[in-house]
Amino acid sequence: MSLEKRVIETIERNLEKKREVKLESRLVEDLEADSFSKLMIIAGLEDEFSVTIDEEDVGRIEKVSDIVENLRLKHPEVEEE
């Protein structure tokens, strides 16, 4: 499964409502994620990929594609799984 698809599916599993998540979806504006939703998403991604995402990086994440980019840049090993 591609990295993008795994990220999208993880986010979908960590949202209260079923939503179509796309790479260009913005967490707050499109997915209506509040601060706890964001925490759930980040923790879910950390579990999924067995990584720790830096708090500073979390603050910079706006869109789903930002998460994919962050993982590729900071945790290139996830691509090989």
Active centre residues (catalytic): 34
Q: Least distance to another protein from the beta carbon of 50, Å?
A: 10
Which residues does residue 63 pair with via DSSP β-bridges, in sequence order? 26
CA angle, 58 then 61 then 65, to 5°: 130
Question: What CA–CA distances, in Å, run from 9 to 42, 56?
Answer: 13, 24
Compute the half-sphere exposure of residue 47: CA atoms within 13 Å on the CB side of its CA.
11
The interface mask with another protein, positions 30-59, x = CB under 8 A, is --x-x-xx-xx--x---x------------
Total residues at interface with another protein (CB under 8 A): 11
Amino acid at 22: K
Q: Least distance to another protein from the beta carbon of 78, Å?
A: 16
Q: Least distance to another protein from the beta carbon of 54, Å?
A: 15
**Residues at the interface with another protein (CB under 8 A):** 14, 16, 28, 32, 34, 36-37, 39-40, 43, 47
